[in-house]
Structure 1
Amino acid sequence: MKKIFILFFFLAGTVFSDYVPGEVLVKLKGKKTGIQSSFILSIDVLSLEDRIYKLKLKKSSDIFKVIDELMKDPNVEYAEPNYIRKIQNIKNAVPNDPYLDQQWGLRRIRTPEAWNIEKGGPNVIIAILDTGIDYNHFDIDDKIIGSQSFVASEEDPMDYSGHGTHVSGIVGAEVDNGTGCAGVAWNCKLLAIKCLDKKGNGEDSNVYSAIKYAADYGAKVINMSFGGTGYSKTLKNAVDYAHNKNVLLVAAAGNSGGSQIFYPAGYENVMAVAATDINDRKAYFSQYGYWVDIAAPGVRILSTSPNNKYLYSDGTSMASPFVSGVAGLMFSRYLGTTNTWVFSEIKRLSDRIDIEINGGILNAYKTLCGTNTKPSAFSLIQPAKDSWISNTYPLFKWQRSYDPDWGDEIIYKVFLGVAEEGMKEIVKINDSSVIGDHCFWIPSYKNPLSKGRMYNWMVVVEDSSGGTYSTSVSTFTTTSIVMFPNPAKNGKTVRFRGIPLTKSTCFVSIYTLAGELVEKIPENKGEDVLWNTKPVASGVYLYIISNSEKVFAKGKIGVIK
């Protein structure tokens, strides 16, 4: 099959799909659990919630005959090959000195000007689904918030290919640190997820798990610089899952040079990205067509490479992360907005030229400041829903309203109260006194919040014409508990400080994301509770601080080895 893939560049309009030999992905209908076939060797559960299974077949089984047999089963919704997605770069390993002035792509999309408006926020996470990231690279290491591998043969999320590290540098290499190159999303965090092996190949079963993991982790943007021509319902299921959680998915359009649709870029809820050169021409290798949403620089792109190096590379793999980086800036500037609005604004404000796609060339500056519409979302931002805060004078922050039909005078009313006692109006703020896109309020020092209490809050807006609108109710809990470092790198000990002393013993319980208990540590008579991360593998873990009566805090910890 590798020989067929090499031919992609020579057979115009003809592209073939690779799949894992002897494996089939099956989704069952309703609550059915049984799968019958004499060809099945073993069954792995991919998702109980979605009823998707990976079947391993007996040797010499004809995979398509098995699929035909399974589709005759009334309990089967669909059966399909476990397609392989491939990285979409044109290898050009030419190391070079890491200077910002060599990053023509940043200048073309007007990133330096965009940075004067928005540099991104650390609360916005951009997930890099790829071959992993060199998490020790001195131009990326401080940007990584967590990591995970879904490649069974490569449990360490370290990048042994170089592709994922190069993509990550385009999105978010550290800026203004006197070292190396610069990434688009200055202050946004990176989530490193390995779903492709060191050869750049990734099974749909792994990509499926990676997309759902990123969405559940809290990523706002998912970058996928890989693809293939096989349409997978399983992969579409994961894409829709993330989209419905308000995640913007961005993917490379492909490097076969034709118009055939590549997936995941070709799915409806994914932004497909073509590649252009320094002269704004479509790169010779780039896919094109009505299904491609936007283009970005993808020829001779300088970025990070493993072992603290830098190199140039070509491909739609390099174009996609430019778009993901700008999406991160948009989510930072317009907190509380939607993925569909960010998608439409990036596309609408691109530079229109004729490059045979359904969009133009990415323009970060126009996207951030040239928009003539505002996000309609009127939403609460801080304290975040279900969050735990230690400050008894917290900053309350919400998105301003931009309804053009409202009257001239707009009043915001903040309602707050202990959960079991109900909310009451505590302050009014006139919109005319607000500067910028967000409203703020801080409790007075005479009326601090109580520690260890659960609060509800909401905002109601009223205008002079009598119109009213309210946000949904958001809940947060005040606590004095802090946890650091996060992520824990190279086996460092995690400290939990401020755990309350109660009649029944408090415990810090550490779990895997699958819910398996890793360790349960009792309180330490008011001293820090310590968790030794040396014995555990790299990944994301859950912690819950509780006694027999109450949960005091919970969250996620990243471990990087």
Structure 2
Amino acid sequence: MLRSLTLSLAFIAAFCSVVSAADVEPRTVVITWRSGSPSFLAWQAAGRRGPITDLTPLVGAHSTTPYILDATLTAVDRAHALRNHTVIRQTPDRTISRIMVVKYEADVDPAYVARKLSSLPDVQVAEPLSRHHLLEMPNDPDVGLQYHLPLIRAIDAWDVLPLNKTIVVGIVDTGIDTAHVDLGANVWRNSGEMGLDANQQDKRFNNLDDDGNGFADDWYGWDFLGADGTPDNEPLPGNLHGTHVGGIVAAVINNAIGVAGVGKNIRVMPVKIGYDDQFSSTVGRSSDGILYAASMGASIINCSFGSGSPSFADVTVIEEATTLGSLIVAASGNDGVNMAFYPAAYPQVLSVTATDELDQLTYFSNRHSSVDVCAPGLTIYSTVPGDRYDYLNGTSMASPVAAAVAAMVRLRFPDYSPDETRAVVMSTCDNVDTLNRIFMGLYGIGRVNALKAVSESSPRWVSVIRPTFTDADEDGFFEPNERIRLSLDIRNELEPLSHCVVHVTPAPAAFQPEIVTDSIVVGPLAHGQTVTLAEDVLIDLPSDIPFNGELRLMVTITDSSQFVSRQMITAVVNPTYRTIDVNYLAATVNSIGNIGYNDYPSNVQGVGLSYKGGPSLLFEGALMVGVQPRDLPNVARGAQTDIKDTSFHPLRIAELRTDSVPNGSRIVTAFSDIYDPWSIGLSITQNVYAMTADSLKRTLLITLDVTNRVDTVIRDLFVSQFYDFDIGPSGSNNGCAFDRSKGIGLIQNTTRPDLPSVGVAMISPLPMNFFALDNDGDVSSPSIYDHFLRAEKWTTMSGGIRRANSRITDVSTIIGAGPFSLAPGESKQVCFVIAVGEDYTMLSSDIASARAAAELMGLNAAPYKEIPIEDRISYIEGSPLLGPGSHDVSFAVGQTSPVTIDVIDLFGNPITTVVDNEQFQAGTYTRTMNLPNIAQGTYFLRMTTFASSVIEGFGVVR
């Protein structure tokens, strides 16, 4: 099967990146419902408020609100009607109306919740709610005054603009000082909310929505947050940021006071999305702000805010605003790193980074292949509240410089679309490559030039819109010494070209590929025409490319040897994971012990575990090894649910091979715990086999060759696999059980018999360990929604068949071997089987076949011997550190017997009794231990039966 990688420039790759927890709202996710879905229709009927029945089993108690306010939807409907000269029609099923914000009470990471909710059939997209921040960087006011105006030739551009025409720029920010002596005259006014109404009342203050846009008395903009999150009609400044941005765009010109804006004949529309607190840099309801500005006629909308968190919901908003005729201009971020920043990195947005007075990229500017242009952003002098002025630094200052240039382009050429306006701004930039050579392609095409932008009568720009990479062996992984192909679609945004040629060259990067086909002739290209290049670009990758390296290519368009445009495209090469897909199962294996995905919890690098081409059945698969709770190297989720432990370092990168496999393939990799702070001293070679024999085509065989690389004996070693299987939507209504008669862990969806089931087994002749875990927690199971601590991992991976049955919920499975010992240099192989099938009879038969095949291959596999129930203490709630109070205790009884369970201290002195000589039949049970207020220290829970006496230690803290 041919696999390829298609990119929308850098946007697609960046969209898949892991989002920092600091960039999202806690306990909050955003859901976009599918059109016509019952959950959406019920929510809509309830006034777009209230809990959602289908979400409660997954997120617990929660509330919902619209992502886009009702008033904003009304404004959008009105704007469409005005543009199309039709009556206002409500369109309740469009995408922006189907987006909701869900706030839940549980302390669970939003990225984890979003990934779970994404598998619900009614959910189109679920994602964390991005937390946007302002991007200014204050500095001392002791250098230059408005150097940016002559640098970009703004003053010269004013003479080219038409007289007596104005244009509106939306300033979606922290509000504007509308009474500022040097800005107030250029603040937009809403004529529909001014004058007298039918009752001779001033429309500005009559508490009526006179213009029917959904907002009452919005005569000079709108405040979406106010002092406490309550909207009002006074978009006056909290933080000074918005007034500074507004002044950069449109401070009054030729009024003999203060400063001048970059643009002439511009009116700024105040749209406040910041709080009234002057020290707050957090913004909210930015999507409402963008849609309000677009609906009210802003041709350009400046967004000097953002975060590293991409959002499908925001993409929908940007598309809607563009449809209404608005070009979004946004800041690229102030982290000083190579990263995508949103909303700037969305494809239809003009992304702006900052340069200084010498046209050099500033130290704080983000650079990235998604950046379109650069503009001055260092020590920019502009208006601040109270008729004052100040200097600020930041891409927040560069963005309004470019926004003002874009506004003047629309003023000069009113028929340009948002995409055409964006193309003109880019096509007329000054080249500053010689001053920023190491960042070429990461700061856009160049620095904006206002005069060229408004003067160029025949601008030219061609966009690369769908670059697609394919590789020679068709596995979708671009490896050293491999030849790959690049196919390109291009679109002419502006004037026709007579002899278009596409040139591809390496961009500055950590490695340089050889471009075999470096130019392709297209010929004539009409305005608006999109073509697919007739031939592919051939690229030979070198032998020394780094793991997970970034291939950077510069695509340059010329017309009759004259430069037209340039864009960078990127792709990930030499990834540290591979996918095996030779039978009914497809699975991804990385180089550090994960199965399913390489990038938990984003889960876009890999296929998970897929059966017959269906959706992934596996949310997370991870290796865990340990000798005690502290010394437990692993790659499962950890102390934070959205961050996995990374104990293993790759020794051999995952490689797909066909040797040593009867009729199939294998992925082999090796890694060690050498860099883990609590290293045991292990190296591990992993093989994952997929075979095509009829009895094996629904199975994966996994072997782990575990080697002691230290000079002491490693005792009491446990080796386990952690699997968070999700069978059906979000993994809800799943159950897990261990069949002692066959040694198989079974995971099923209890309400959907049409869905496949999964079976897991440890098939080596070693002691078996198994734990059926409730992800949301139970009296006998830790919760892993909040964290999965090493002590909790130890509980679940050691101690035999510790919990044989889960509740019906979202479940995980831990299965493994141990304890066993390894002498210095000794290796031991542990073998596992994963099987997927329609019913348990099929699963158990396939696992038996895999066990037999492993034996024939000479692997460390053996026939299963049934494990009897043994007397044991399975679980102590809160262990290993307890406080006074009630704690549930789970225990197993191997045969009918009187049972006594008590708490004793280090000297065997009794502290309290849990069970007092009570008769039990063979089975598992739970009782409550009431721990008195005793001294800190080590204590033991002792269980005495007819056949044995067992103890389990714990600590007491106060």
TM-score over 0.5 for the pair: yes
How far residue 373 of structure 1 moved from its aligned partner, in angstroms, is: 3.8
Residue 428 (structure 2) aligns with:
349
Counterpart contact for 2:62–2:105, Cα < 8 Å: yes
Report SS of the residue matched to 2:339: coil
Cα offsets for 1:368-418 (capped at 9, x unmatched): 11343499xxxxxxxxxxxxxxxxxxxxxxxxxx9999xxxxxxxxxxxxx
Matched, 1:105 2:105: no
Report the residue type matching 1:231 in the other structure.
Answer: P
Instruction: Give the structure 2 partner of residue 41 of structure 1.
Output: 62
Match of 1:175 in 2: 253
**Amino acid corresponding to residue 132 of structure 2 in structure 1:** R
AA partner of residue 318 (structure 1) = M
Deviation at residue 264 of structure 1 after TM alignment: 0.4
Q: Is the 8 A contact 1:350 1:359 kept in 2?
A: yes
1:71 equivalenced with 2:103 (yes/no): no
Residue 446 of structure 2 is matched in structure 1 by: 360
* SS class of match (1:102): coil
Q: Tell me by how many angstroms 1:46 deviates.
A: 2.6
Match of 1:82 among 105, 129, 132: 129
Cα drift, residue 16 of structure 1: 6.3
**Match of 1:163?**
241
Superposed CA offset, 1:428-453 (max 9, x none): xxxxxxxxxxxxxxxxxxxxxxxxxx
- The 3 A distance-change label for structure 1 pair 403 and 131 is closer
Q: Answer whether contact 1:207 1:235 (CA < 8 A) is retained.
A: no
- Label 1:27 to 1:403 Cα distance change in 2 as closer, same or farther (>3 A): closer
Superposition map of 1:208-227 within 5 A: 208-227=287-306
Shift of 1:89: 1.2
Indicate if the aligned counterparts of 2:336 and 2:366 stay in contact, CA closer than 8 A: yes
Residue of 374, 389, 394 corresponding to 1:295: 374
In the alignment, the residues of structure 2 paired with residue 29 and residue 14 of structure 1 have an alpha-carbon distance, to the nearest angstrom, of 24
Cross-structure match for 2:158: 115
> Structure 1 counterpart of 2:235, which letter?
P
* CA 1:175–1:216: 2 relative to 1, 3 Å: same
CA 1:93–1:22: 2 relative to 1, 3 Å: farther
C-alpha distance in structure 2 between counterparts of 1:120 and 1:59, whole Å: 59
State which of 318, 333, 340 in structure 1 corresponds to 2:397.
Answer: 318
Select 1:126's aligned residue among 159, 169, 175.
Answer: 169
Q: Percent identity?
A: 31
* Displaced runs of 4 or more, over 6 A: 13-16, 402-405
Describe the shift of the 1:95–1:150 C-alpha distance in structure 2 as closer, same or farther (beyond 3 A). farther
Q: Which residue of 1 aligns with 2:556?
A: none
* Total equivalences in the alignment: 361
1:130 and 1:194 in contact (8 A); partners too: yes
Change (3 A) 1:314 1:143: same
SS at match of 2:352: strand
Deviation at 1:262, TM superposition (A): 0.3
8 Å Cα contact 2:115-2:127 kept in structure 1: no
Aligned residues of 2:30 and 2:129 also touching (Cα < 8 A): yes
Given that 1:121 and 1:188 are in contact with CA atoms closer than 8 Å, whether structure 2 keeps it comes out as: no
Report the AA paired with residue 274 of structure 2: L
Which residue in 1 is equivalent to 2:31?
26
Give how far 1:218 is off.
Answer: 0.9
Q: In structure 2, the residue corresponding to 1:223 is in which secondary structure?
A: strand
**Alignment partners' CA distance in 1, 2:236 and 2:408:** 26
Q: TM-score, normalized by length of structure 2?
A: 0.36
Q: Quick check: 1:345–1:371 contact (8 Å CA) kept in 2?
A: no
CA deviations over 1:22-78 (Å, ceiling 9, x no partner) = 221111001221542222421112345420111111243443343233223110111
1:188 maps to amino acid: I
Where does the alignment leave 5 or more consecutive residues of structure 1 unmatched?
Answer: 1-12, 376-401, 406-561
CA–CA distance in structure 2, aligned partners of residues 321 and 58 of structure 1: 39
Q: How does 1:190-339 map to 2 (within 5 A)?
A: 190-197=268-275, 198=277, 199-203=280-284, 206-339=285-418
State the alpha-carbon separation in 1 of the partners of residues 140 and 27 from structure 2. 35
Distance 1:123 1:300 in 2: 28
Confirm or deny that 1:149 pairs with 2:196: no
Greater mean deviation of Cα atoms: 343-352 or 32-41:
32-41
Letter aligned with residue 156 of structure 2: E
Letter in 2 for 1:129: V
Residue of structure 2 in register with 1:7 after alignment:
none
- The answer to whether residue 229 in structure 2 is matched with residue 185 in structure 1 is no
Cα gap change, 1:19 to 1:328, in 2 (>3 Å): same
Q: Tell me if structure 2 keeps the 8 A contact 1:120–1:333.
A: no
Aligned counterpart, 2:916: none
Judged with a 3 Å threshold, the aligned counterparts in structure 2 of structure 1 residues 121 and 323 are, in CA distance, closer, same or farther, namely farther
**Counterpart selection for 1:372 from 423, 434, 458:** 458
What SS does structure 2 have at the residue aligned with 1:25? strand
| Structure 1 position 122, deviation (Å) | 5.0
TM value normalised by structure 1: 0.61
- SS of residue in 1 equivalent to 2:65: strand
Q: CA distance change for structure 1 residues 404 and 29 in 2, over 3 Å: closer, same or farther?
A: closer
Q: Is the 8 A contact 1:119 1:329 kept in 2?
A: no
**How far apart in 1 are the matches of 2:404 and 2:30?**
33
Is this contact kept in 2: 1:24–1:81, CA < 8 A?
yes
Give the deviation of 1:119 after TM superposition: 6.5
Q: Residue 16 of structure 1 contacts residue 229 of structure 1 at CA under 8 Å; is this kept in 2? A: no
SS at match of 1:37: helix
Give distance in 2, aligned partners of 1:61 and 1:120: 58
Give distance in 2, aligned partners of 1:118 and 1:150: 34
Distance 2:354 2:19 in 1: 20
Distance 1:56 1:14 in 2: 19
Cα 1:213–1:121 shift into 2, 3 Å: farther
Q: Does the Cα contact within 8 Å between 1:174 and 1:183 map onto a contact in 2?
A: yes
- Relative distance call for 1:43 and 1:246 in structure 2 (3 A) is same
Judged with a 3 Å threshold, the aligned counterparts in structure 2 of structure 1 residues 16 and 255 are, in CA distance, closer, same or farther, namely farther
Alignment of 1:55 onto 2:102 = yes
Relative to structure 1, the CA distance from residue 95 to residue 200 in structure 2 (aligned partners, 3 Å threshold; closer, same or farther) is farther
Distance verdict in 2 for CA 1:107–1:16, change over 3 Å: farther
CA offsets 1:248-276 (integer angstroms, 9 cap, x no match): 11000111111100000000000110111
Amino acid at match of 2:426: K
Instruction: Report the Cα offset of residue 193 of structure 1.
Output: 0.5
Contact 1:349 1:371 in 2 (8 A): no
Secondary structure class of the residue paired with 2:139: strand
Amino acid of the structure 2 residue aligned with 1:360 = G
Instruction: Give the counterpart letter for 2:151 in structure 1.
Output: R
Paired letter, 2:36: K
